[in-house]
Amino acid sequence: MNKKREIQSSVKDESLIEKRRAQMIRGAVTLFKQKGFHRTTTREIAKAAGFSIGTLYEYIRTKEDVLYLVCDSIYDEVHARLESLDIEKGSLEVLVTALEHYYGLIDDMQDEFVVMYQESKSLPKDALQYVLKKELEMVALFERLLTECRESGELKMTPKEIKLAAHHLFVQGQMWAFRRWALRDFTISEFIQTQTNFLLQGMAGEKISTQGAK
Amino acid sequence: MNKKREIQSSVKDESLIEKRRAQMIRGAVTLFKQKGFHRTTTREIAKAAGFSIGTLYEYIRTKEDVLYLVCDSIYDEVHARLESLDIEKGSLEVLVTALEHYYGLIDDMQDEFVVMYQESKSLPKDALQYVLKKELEMVALFERLLTECRESGELKMTPKEIKLAAHHLFVQGQMWAFRRWALRDFTISEFIQTQTNFLLQGMAGEKISTQGAK
Amino acid sequence: MNKKREIQSSVKDESLIEKRRAQMIRGAVTLFKQKGFHRTTTREIAKAAGFSIGTLYEYIRTKEDVLYLVCDSIYDEVHARLESLDIEKGSLEVLVTALEHYYGLIDDMQDEFVVMYQESKSLPKDALQYVLKKELEMVALFERLLTECRESGELKMTPKEIKLAAHHLFVQGQMWAFRRWALRDFTISEFIQTQTNFLLQGMAGEKISTQGAK
Amino acid sequence: MNKKREIQSSVKDESLIEKRRAQMIRGAVTLFKQKGFHRTTTREIAKAAGFSIGTLYEYIRTKEDVLYLVCDSIYDEVHARLESLDIEKGSLEVLVTALEHYYGLIDDMQDEFVVMYQESKSLPKDALQYVLKKELEMVALFERLLTECRESGELKMTPKEIKLAAHHLFVQGQMWAFRRWALRDFTISEFIQTQTNFLLQGMAGEKISTQGAK
DNA sequence: AATGAATGAGTATTCATTCAT
DNA sequence: AATGAATGAATACTCATTCAT
């Protein structure tokens, strides 16, 4: 659907580009997590990626490109993980599965998500738009599932409530990435379990059993 | 209470310090919101505050001090607004009032909260500790109120659920500040109303009527 | 003879000027010795002198004025101490007395001399000229005494040798101020004694007994 | 030997470092001589060296590094010039040769020596230690030669006198650099000749003929 | 394709000096 | 006469980006 913002590279070999950019992203995420985007220098990124500053600039145009690549790679992963749900018709069970996938993903890519949420404001305008759109797509997925639950009678919520609830679900995911320091005594399964119960109780008035994620 | 980190000033007149720092904070929040902490220059802060760069440095020592002053002033306001709740015994009604105060505060100081959450990682270590402690105090307030609700039988939740729920409530507040662009069709009263309903349904199993905040 | 460079003051009361400037000089010498002229701020000077920055500038026009006052006060003291020798006819004995006075003075005002020699290059052009002239007057005193020794047959040196010797004597004085760290096991009397012997042997070919200074 | 304080460079090519630093030193000496270390800006140093401010900082870390490089290069030269004397057994003739080399060196590197003596106090602590140690090594050379002269009966001096005399010789060298303005009618040969005569007369009681240096 | 030396615009901070009170 | 708040020019140092090799 959404055409990706193409990042220019003066190298032609596509598979090499992919390889080098993967190195870059891995190094950059660690650095951005530690010191933030602004305090990380391009030289540090190059070094962490395992090549020279000159080489770095063969694969990107600006430092912001690196941040964009990080964000973009996260959504590639999000897409891969939630793809299967795109086709399913919403039901409470599917909703729970979606949450399990989504929260599980955030758990796996905690650093990446933190970086994305903390630093995405440093993206150039168009890149920021692209990332926000991806974000809204996620929210829209939840919204669709909730709506379909309502239509099937599993939930009784107004459209407005559904919209807010979708944001709810999305933001609770961020919370797991961001507030891990405050939630040290929860495992990811406990977290998913408890969140799910809250939501379902709040929305449907009944508990639904979920199998612990991962 | 928590001793404040004192920010050094070479000016002696305390009331002047307060006045100038208030100017600084007002200007800085606007700028930080627009361009972020790192992209804002000290000269811009001085200018926005209405004085020269030299004068700015009469009242702080480093740029980070400005960020700290912003965060600190937020928690002064938080404290002022929630003070009355400190003494009350928890009940669902008090909890709802607390949310109304808290969400109302975030609505009033939206820019400040966004800046604080986005930029606090740029604070020096000790200042960051101070701000996080303040944050945990807020969470602890919710936790206490929830616990007291459980003790009075108004809520049936495990201690762990209570802990998570407290973070929930706290994070939903941030959501109002951060995702306003996505929630344009909600007023603050609607938001408070809907959130409260969710929470109470989810926790207590029944709707409670609240009077719209503000 | 040499008209002093007048340092402007906006205060009229002459005796107050003198008092405040003495405070200034005392404080400044300590600071300049410790950190050098450039690393010392005018605020520090004011503080060390016991008054405010505003007051400091009531008695001087620029920071360099402070340095000049320091140098000038040194030569006032030099003048006071060596005055008696101005009228005496040169002889080896008088020469030795002159050295005793001069080296003793340097010993007493070690800090001041170190500051003057290390920092005088920071004086404005005309002030530097004034100080160098004072310096040459000192050398000229030695030169006169040596010349009169030669005329009386006490010394056999060419005019050129005398000139160099005069600088010699002058510079050896500086050495006592500057290289004290390397000459820790000498007392000032020993130093004067040994220096005098060197010089007299070298010049006159015979030892002359001197009474230890101080 | 004395391990050199390594100055960090972000450039790898050693020979390039050497070349660029030589350019830097040449430019810096001129500027420091004219305006002193503190009044010279890093941009001026870069410009005088023939490259940009950015390039300057590829080869040093701080402005003080430049001063250190100047001092260090002087002692490299001192070492090269006096090396041959390190092995020789002391005698009056060798002592005279040492003075000729030393004074000749100071004459050749007058600006460098003036800068070093005037500005070395601005070096960071450890760099200052290093430079002072080098200085004491020079004094120790003279001391050794004098001691060996005494042992061979060429001189009659107490150890204390020898120590002071060594400083003497060292300081007279500085005098040639520092007081050239006052010694305009001496050539370096005359200066060496006269100084040598003084010293030998004073110490040994007889004139020794020297061949004029350079 | 890869390297790393060169560039210079940009920025936090300092500090001599002024001037209203 | 004394004070100290205000000023802004000046300056060391950084770092994204380029380009010759």
Encode pLDDT of A21-67 as tens digits: 999 999 999 999 999 999 999 999 999 999 999 999 999 999 999 99
- The low-confidence residues of chain D, meaning pLDDT below 50, are 205-214
Residues B127 and B183 placed together within one structural domain of the fold: yes
What are A167-180's pLDDT values in tens digits?
Answer: 999 999 999 999 99
C61 touches strand E (CB under 7 A): yes
Angle at alpha carbon of residue D75, lines to D74 and D79, rounded to 5°: 125
**What residues make up the domain containing D142?**
64-204
Residues D150 and D189 placed together within one structural domain of the fold: yes
Q: Name which residue leads in pLDDT, A207 or C174.
A: C174
Residues C28 and C113 placed together within one structural domain of the fold: no
Nearest-Å Rg of the Cα atoms of chain A is 19
Chain C residue numbers with beta carbons less than 8 Å from the beta carbon of D197 are 161
pLDDT for the residue numbered A1: 52
**A159: nearest Cα among C110, B190, B39:** B190
Report how many domains make up chain B: 2
Is the pLDDT at A205 greater than 50, yes or no?
no
Question: For residue C44, what are the contacts with CB-CB under 8 A and spacing of at least 6?
Answer: C31
Q: What is the mean pLDDT of chain C?
A: 90
d(CA D123, CA D132) in angstroms, rounded, equals 11
Which of A164, A171, A179 shows the shortest C-beta gap to B194? A164
- Tally of CA atoms within 13 A in the half-sphere of A195 that contains its CB: 32
Domain boundary among C46, C61, C76: C61
A2 in any annotated domain? no
Residues B69 and B165 placed together within one structural domain of the fold: yes
d(CA D49, CA D25) in angstroms, rounded, equals 8
Residues D90 and D189 placed together within one structural domain of the fold: yes
Q: Nearest chain C Cα to D200, which residue?
A: C202
How far, in Å, is the CA of A51 from the C1' of nucleotide F18? Answer: 17
Contact between chain B and chain A (3 or more Cβ pairs less than 8 Å apart): yes
pLDDT for the residue numbered A123: 96
pLDDT for the residue numbered C199: 74
A3 in any annotated domain? no
Q: How far is CA A149 from the centre of its chain?
A: 24
Chain D residue numbers with beta carbons less than 8 Å from the beta carbon of C131 are none
Q: Among D171, D180, D184, which would you mutate to test the C interface (most chain C Cβ atoms within 10 Å of its Cβ)? A: D171
Question: Chain F: nucleotides under 7 Å from a protein CB?
Answer: 1-20
Provide the 3-class DSSP secondary structure of residue B193: helix
Residues C92 and C54 placed together within one structural domain of the fold: no
Residues A44 and A119 placed together within one structural domain of the fold: no
pLDDT for the residue numbered D11: 98
- DSSP assignment of D10-60: S---HHHHHHHHHHHHHHHHHHHHHHHHHHS-HHHHHHHHTS-HHHHHHH-
From the CA of A130, how many Å to the nearest CA of chain B? 15
Mean pLDDT of A117-131: 95
Residues B46 and B109 placed together within one structural domain of the fold: no
Residues D136 and D187 placed together within one structural domain of the fold: yes
- DSSP 8-state symbol, A90: P
pLDDT for the residue numbered B134: 92
Report the phi/psi class of residue A181: left, alpha or beta, with left for phi > 0 and alpha for psi in -120 to 50: alpha
Domain boundary among D45, D61, D77: D61
Residue that is written with structure tokens 């010993």 in the block: C107
From the CA of D31, how many Å to the nearest CA of chain C? 14
d(CA C127, CA C197) in angstroms, rounded, equals 36
D3 in any annotated domain? no
C25 in any annotated domain? yes
B214 in any annotated domain? no
d(CA D166, CA D157) in angstroms, rounded, equals 12
Question: For residue A35, what are the contacts with CB-CB under 8 A and spacing of at least 6?
Answer: none
Note the maximum CA span of chain C: 60
Describe the crossing of helices D159-178 and D110-119 by its angle, rounded to 10 degrees: 110
> Residue with CA nearest F6 C1'?
B55
CA distances from B94 to B86, B90, B156, B164, C159 (A): 10, 6, 17, 19, 103
A161 interfaces chain B, CB cutoff of 8 Å = yes
Per-residue H/E/C for chain C: CCCCCCCCCCCCCHHHHHHHHHHHHHHHHHHHHHHHHHHCCHHHHHHHHCCCHHHHHHHCCCHHHHHHHHHHHHHHHHHHHHHHHHCCCCCHHHHHHHHHHHHHHHHHCHHHHHHHHHHHHHCCHHHHHHHHHHHHHHHHHHHHHHHHHHHCCCCCCCHHHHHHHHHHHHHHHHHHHHCHHHCCCCCHHHHHHHHHHHHHHHHHCCCCCCCCCC
> Residue with CA nearest E19 C1'?
C54
CB A55, CB A46: distance < 8 Å: yes
Nearest-Å Rg of the Cα atoms of chain C is 19
Contact between chain B and chain D (3 or more Cβ pairs less than 8 Å apart): no
Q: Which nucleotide is nearest to C17 (CA to C1')?
A: F1
Question: Chain E: nucleotides under 7 Å from a protein CB?
Answer: 1-20
**Range name among A78-87, C32-41, D65-74, D163-172 with the lowest pLDDT average:** A78-87
> Residue with CA nearest F7 C1'?
B54
CB C66, CB C116: distance < 8 Å: no
How far, in Å, is the CA of A57 from the C1' of nucleotide E8? Answer: 19
> Residue with CA nearest E18 C1'?
C54
pLDDT for the residue numbered B83: 87
A180 interfaces chain B, CB cutoff of 8 Å = no
D42 in any annotated domain? yes
A212 in any annotated domain? no
Is the pLDDT at A214 greater than 70, yes or no?
no
pLDDT for the residue numbered B122: 95
Residues B56 and B70 placed together within one structural domain of the fold: no
CATH number, domain containing residue B35: 1.10.10.60
Chain D residue numbers with beta carbons less than 8 Å from the beta carbon of C183 are 164, 167
d(CA B167, CA A172) in angstroms, rounded, equals 10
Q: Among B132, B134, B164, which would you mutate to test the A interface (most chain A Cβ atoms within 10 Å of its Cβ)? A: B164
Mean pLDDT of C48-66: 98
Question: For residue D168, what are the contacts with CB-CB under 8 A and spacing of at least 6?
Answer: C172, C175, C198, D199
From the CA of D18, how many Å to the nearest CA of chain C? 31
Per-residue pLDDT of chain B (214 residues), as tens digits, is 567 889 999 999 999 999 999 999 999 999 999 999 999 999 999 999 999 999 999 999 999 999 999 999 999 999 998 888 888 888 889 999 999 999 999 999 999 999 999 999 999 999 999 999 999 999 999 999 999 999 998 888 899 989 999 999 999 999 999 999 889 999 999 999 888 888 777 665 444 444 443 3
Residues D81 and D174 placed together within one structural domain of the fold: yes
Question: For residue B57, what are the contacts with CB-CB under 8 A and spacing of at least 6?
Answer: B42
CB B106, CB B174: distance < 8 Å: yes
Q: Do A168 and B167 touch (CB under 8 A)?
A: no
A106 in any annotated domain? yes
D205 touches strand E (CB under 7 A): no
Residues B73 and B31 placed together within one structural domain of the fold: no
CATH number, domain containing residue A195: 1.10.357.10
User: How many helices (H) and strands (E) are present in chain D, helices listed first?
Assistant: 9, 0
